[in-house]
Chains A and B, each alone.
Chain A
Amino acid sequence: MIEFDNATRTFARKVAVDGLTLSVPPGELFALLGPNGAGKTTTIKMLTGLLRPTSGAVKVCGIDLTADVRRATHALGYVPEEPFLYDKLSGREFLEFAAEMRGLERATVKERIQRENGYFELGDFLDDLTETYSHGMKQRIVFASAMLHDPPVLVIDEPMVGLDPRSVRMVKDRLRERAAAGTIIFMSTHTLAIAEEIAHRIGIMDHGRLHFLGTVAQLQRELASSHTRLEPLFLELTSGNNGRPHKETERRLQVEN
């Protein structure tokens, strides 16, 4: 379970995330959407322990990220928007390092790398230095490294940036498969079509606040819109709201919490 309990993060005078309260249960594929500067990246950074909430709490599998960040990150796999790899290591060496840090046995490491190689088709470049990789190759290696230890929570910031259509397919299939196996997948994206296609629930943030939480069908009902696609609904919700959540959403969130 991922839990944001009235989590607020301020940057000097600016409130980047304002009292976020949200729970994501096991097996759910959750997509966090919002315009630029909405607070998505700050939310992701709080969830991965890089930033601490100014007030409130963020928990992963019941562990408070501020109180015990190490145990919490043990339960996470994280795919950042800008993948970091050591230039002078090969993809395999990087995966070995990531797996060893998660405490996997040597034999298991080998087997898991083989497994992820199968999913993400890393074979052609796995033993090349990562400095020679394209963005898409790097992204696939980072996806593989985040899944090596079968984490109960997978956090992904912009999952499809720089991936070719075949890789996008691979990633989508793998995410669906992981969610079906009980992994919580928390992703932040601007690609509304991806969110619409694979997410069980979406959250829409703007000005640091959660404006909507639910399914696309719920969003359509709450906006009383004739549109059925996410894109026009998203634009409708995020234009001219003056930073206030949608009334119906606000009421529903209060009831849920």
Chain B
Amino acid sequence: MHPLVSQSPPRDFLPPQEEARAFGKARNRILRTLLRQTFARSRFRVTLIVVLTSLLWGVMFWMFADGFWFLKTTITQPDTHALAVGGVFSAFFFALMLMLVFSSGIILYGSLFRSREIAFLLTIPARTGRVFLHKFQEAIVLSSWGFVLLGSPILLAYGVVSVAPWYYYAMLVPFIVSFVYIPVSIGAIICLFVVRRFPDNRTGVLAGGFLLLAVGGIWTVWELMTGPSNDLLTLSWIQEILGRLRFTDQRLLPSWWLSAGLLDAAAGAWAESILFFTLMISNALFFRQLALWRAGKTYRAAYSGLYGKTVRRKRFRPMRFDRLLYRLLSPLGPAMRLIIVKDVRIFRRDPLQWSQFLIFTGFLVVYFILVPYFTYGVSSTSWVNMVSFLNLAVVGLLLSTFTTRFVYPMISLEGRRFWVLGMLGVSRRTILWSKFFFAAGGAIVPCTLLVLISDLKLEVSWLIVVSHQLTCVVLCLGLAGIAVGFGAWLPNFRADSPSRIAAGFGGTLTLVVSTLYILIVVLLTALPTHFFTAADLTNFGWDIDTQTGLRWWLGFWLAAGAAASLVLSAVATLAPLWIGFRTFQHTEF
């Protein structure tokens, strides 16, 4: 036998510290390369992300600082003020904690059970716990990032408003990191439990959990918005609201420890703050160990069990809907109809696409139904109109994220299998038009319906309803044109994942142009409509009935705004498509 090959198994394993070091070294190398590439290749995207994130952060900071100033000036009694701020903190961190449990569970399911990396790591002699920790740490970083973005404005705003000592700021990061460990560990334990015990019904369990969370959230919002009997934003109103949120103020909740520890630090009670910090960190370590212990016991078995349940062949037959759609699309010609029906089938059979759309649409429907209750009796026409136009913009923005994420990559993805369409002798113009009709047609129905629900709940005038429906249709056409046109103009045939394609330069540009287009169209129509229909224009010192000149000018502005938005929409629809056609005609695959 060759001297190098021994049939006896190796006895020595890599010591745990060295194993951790090897994982850490590989991860650092990956991170360094990723950062180097990102800054070298995607400066535009990085700049955009930094600018938009800073903008969002700044707005949140300003909003929270303003809120804390309001509380400080409204509630002058120190104990009541501390209780009120404590209530706000507890409710905020409680909501974040629930979100973290849920999101980390989903993140860990993807990384522990679905990634190709795991199939590699489980075949090398790494400790199961180390493989779990490797992914657990990634989940911690991902979750902390979200926490920093959402939590830091509120915490820094409070520090500034309450003139907190330096150690308040110094303790923010350790407090946040140790807090994040707890919900992420709980999410990991739940994820392992569900996959181990319910490998067949994990989607049902997930959907049930999500439904429970959504119902709980809606119930809480409903309770807060429908009940308060006191005057808006008065001391008694604040006390009533906080009373309804008391369930988040339980002493056994980590969110309460975080809230109490940070408030003590801000108030100069550093000893109490450190007490809460040690409580937090000991619980964080306990839950981390618990998750690690469960992973050691169940992870490999859960992985093996999951793959014993997923080999199912689904049989798909043509649906009546497809045949109906094919007939409805008869004016478009057979080739275009076939491509559209094929795209509809692919869309329908890819839950990733429609489930995201469905979730966000569901949230918007709930919000639109609840929106009248948010007005707290403020029901002036100008307020209602403003909200209705904001809702229109929100629907447009939601659509723009979906056209960027799912429509923009369609041409790039088609490029990888271009031989299918290429060999059929279909003209490239037909392919692009079919993508456009698919995107626009698929967007118009849900978006106009959403806007209609919002308008009906807000009881706006029929003029506004019609104006919104028209605006919504042109928005759908424009966004589809931008996404399809840019997709053909700036394709990425190297990447095979839609999310990667959408995250590139072309996708970022599509999102930016789409956002600008929505804002301009909504402003062009919203502002003149707002002034024209506002019944309380006299608030501005004008009298619309007596000053016919002003009325004429407002009418002209309304017509001009509508015409301008139509012209802009025509340009936004046709110009990108024209550019896309020209490029696509000469693209080599």
Q: Is the CB of B26 within 8 A of A61?
A: no
**Residue with the greatest number of chain A CB neighbours at <10 A, chosen from B25, B117, B308:** B308
Q: Are the C-beta atoms of B122 and A61 separated by less than 8 Å?
A: no
CB distance from B132 to the nearest CB of A (A): 13
Query: If the complex has contacts A50-B307, A181-B2, are A101 and B19 also in contact, measured as CB distance less than 8 A?
Result: yes
User: B125 and A70: CB pair below 8 A?
Assistant: yes
Interface residues of A in 221-242 (CB under 8 A from B): none
Instruction: Flag A48-81 by CB within 8 Å of B: 1 or 0 each.
Output: 1111101000001111000001111111101010
Task: Say yes or no: B4 contacts A150, CB within 8 Å.
Answer: yes
- Give the contacts of B19-34 with A (CB-CB under 8 A): 19, 22, 25-26, 29-30, 33-34
Cβ–Cβ contact B308 & A80, under 8 A:
no
The interface centre, meaning the residue of B123, B128, B303 with most chain A CB atoms within 10 A of its CB, is B123
Indicate whether A26 reaches chain B with its CB closer than 8 angstroms: yes
| Chain B: interface size category | 35 or more
For residues 3 through 22 of chain A, which have their beta carbon under 8 Å from a beta carbon of chain B?
9-12, 14, 16
Among A10, A72, A97, find the residue whose CB has the most chain B CB atoms closer than 10 A: A97
Of the candidates B5, B30, B34, B304, which one forms a contact with A50 in the assembled complex, judged by CB atoms under 8 Å apart?
A: B304
Contact of A127 with B by CB under 8 A: no
Task: Name which residue of chain A comes closest to B124, CB basis.
Answer: A101
- Chain B residue at minimal CB-CB distance from A82: B116
Q: Which of B22, B29, B309 contacts A88 (CB 8 A)?
A: B29
Q: Is A245 an interface residue (CB 8 A)?
A: no
Name the B residues within 8 Å of A74 (CB-CB).
Answer: 9-10, 13, 125
Structural contact, A101 and B125, CB atoms closer than 8 A: yes
- In contact, B125 and A73 (Cβ under 8 angstroms): yes
- Residues from chain A with a CB closer than 8 A to the CB of B330 are none
Compute how far the CA of A97 lies from the CA of B127 in the bound complex, rounded to whole angstroms.
15
**Shortest distance in angstroms between B517's beta carbon and chain A's nearest beta carbon?**
34
In the complex, what residue of chain B is closest to A177 when comparing beta carbons?
A: B2
Name which residue of chain B comes closest to A93, CB basis: B29
Segment 144-180 of A: residues with Cβ below 8 Å from B = 150, 152, 178, 180
Q: Indicate if B120 sits at the interface (CB-CB under 8 A).
A: yes
Once A71-B125, A84-B120 are accepted as A-B contacts, the answer to whether A51 and B307 lie under 8 Å apart by CB is yes
A52 touching B304 by the CB < 8 A rule?
Answer: yes
A1 at the interface (CB under 8 A from B): yes
In the complex, A71 Cα to B8 Cα: how many Å?
11
C-alpha spacing A140/B33, complex, angstroms = 23
Cross-chain contact A75 with B10 (CB below 8 angstroms): yes
Contact between B22 and A97 (Cβ–Cβ < 8 Å)?
yes
Q: How far is the CA of A130 from the CA of B442 in the complex (A)?
A: 39
Bound CA span A101–B312, Å: 35
Give Cα A129 to B33, complex, Å. 9
Cβ-closest chain B residue relative to A75: B9
A12 to B308, CA, bound (A): 7
The answer to whether B1 touches A27, judged by C-beta atoms less than 8 angstroms apart, is: yes
Note all chain B residues with C-beta closer than 8 A to A11: 308-311
User: A16 is contacted by which of B4, B126, B311, B312 (Cβ under 8 Å)?
Assistant: B311
Q: For window 78-107 of chain A, which residues contact chain B by CB distance below 8 Å?
A: 78, 80, 82, 84, 86, 88-89, 93, 97-98, 100-103
Binary flags per residue of B4-17, CB closer than 8 Å to A gives 1, else 0:
11111110111000
Are B308 and A9 touching (Cβ within 8 A)?
Answer: yes
Is B119 an interface residue when CB atoms closer than 8 A count as contact?
yes
Min CB gap A157→B, angstroms: 11
Q: Compute how far the CA of A3 lies from the CA of B1 in the bound complex, rounded to whole angstroms.
A: 20
Closest to B19 in A: A101
The answer to whether B311 and A14 touch across the interface, beta carbons within 8 angstroms, is yes
B51 at interface by CB-CB < 8 Å: no
Whether the Cβ atoms of A70 and B29 lie closer than 8 Å is no
Would you give the 0/1 interface string for A174-199, flagging 1 where the beta carbon is closer than 8 Å to chain B? 00001011110000000000000000
CB distance from A240 to the nearest CB of B (A): 23
CB of A88 within 8 A of CB of B34, answer yes
B14: contacting residue among A52, A75, A101, CB under 8 A: A101
Q: How far apart are B122's CB and chain A's nearest CB, in angstroms?
A: 6
A101 & B116 in contact (Cβ 8 Å cutoff): no
Known: A97-B26, A129-B33. A152 touches B5 (CB 8 A): yes
State whether A10 and B308 are in contact (beta carbons under 8 Å apart), knowing that A101-B126, A181-B4, A182-B2 are contacts in the complex.
yes
Contacts of B30 in A (CB 8 A): 86, 88-89
B8: nearest chain-A partner, CB-CB? A61
Chain A residues positioned under 8 Å from B304 (CB to CB): 50-52
A184 to chain B, nearest CB (A): 8
The verdict on B429 contacting chain A, using a C-beta distance below 8 Å, is no
B6 / chain A contacts, CB cutoff of 8 Å: 152
Task: Find out whether the CB atom of A100 lies under 8 angstroms from the CB atom of B7.
Answer: no
Contacts of A152 in B (CB 8 A): 5-9
Residues of A close to B119: CB separation below 8 A:
50, 80, 84
B345 interface contact, C-beta 8 A:
no
Select one of A62, A69, A129, A182 contacting B9, CB under 8 A: A62
List, in ascending order, chain A residues with CB within 8 A of B9's CB: 60-63, 71-72, 74-75, 152
The digit string for B65-99, where 1 denotes a CB below 8 A from any CB of A, is: 00000000000000000000000000000000000
C-alpha gap A78/B120 in the complex (Å): 9
Q: Which of A14, A62, A181 contacts B1 (CB 8 A)?
A: A181
Q: Indicate if B300 sits at the interface (CB-CB under 8 A).
A: yes
CA distance A16 to B307 in the complex (A): 12
**B205: interface (CB < 8 Å):** no
Q: Which residue of B lies closest to A16 (CB)?
A: B311
Q: Does B301 contact A (CB under 8 A)?
A: yes
The answer to whether B309 and A12 have CB atoms under 8 Å apart is yes
- CB-based nearest A residue for B310: A11
Given A50-B122, A100-B22, A89 and B29 contact (CB-CB distance below 8 Å):
yes
Give the distance to chain B from A195, nearest Cβ to Cβ, in Å.
22
C-alpha spacing A76/B29, complex, angstroms = 26
Find chain B residues with CB under 8 A from A84 CB: 116-117, 119-120
A78–B123 CB distance below 8 A: yes
Report the bound CA distance from A84 to B116 in whole Å: 7
Most buried by B among A16, A63, A70, A82: A70
Name which residue of chain A comes closest to B10, CB basis.
A74
* A88–B33 CB distance below 8 A: yes
Q: Mark each residue of chain A from 14 to 39: 1 if its CB lies under 8 Å from any CB of chain B, else 0.
A: 10100000000011000000000000
**A27 to B329, alpha carbons, bound, how many Å?**
65
Report Cα–Cα, A62/B311, bound state, in Å: 30
The 4 closest A-B pairs by CB, nearest first: A181-B2, A74-B125, A182-B1, A88-B33
Q: What are 6 pairs between A and B in contact, CB < 8 Å?
A: A12-B311, A26-B1, A49-B300, A52-B301, A152-B6, A183-B5
Q: Which residues on B are within 8 Å of A, measured CB to CB?
A: 1-2, 4-10, 12-14, 18-19, 22, 25-26, 29-30, 33-34, 37, 116-117, 119-120, 122-128, 200, 300-301, 303-304, 307-312
With A49-B300, A100-B14 given, name 16 new contacts (CB 8 A): A11-B309, A12-B200, A26-B1, A26-B5, A50-B119, A52-B304, A54-B308, A63-B9, A80-B123, A89-B29, A93-B29, A97-B26, A101-B14, A101-B124, A102-B124, A181-B4
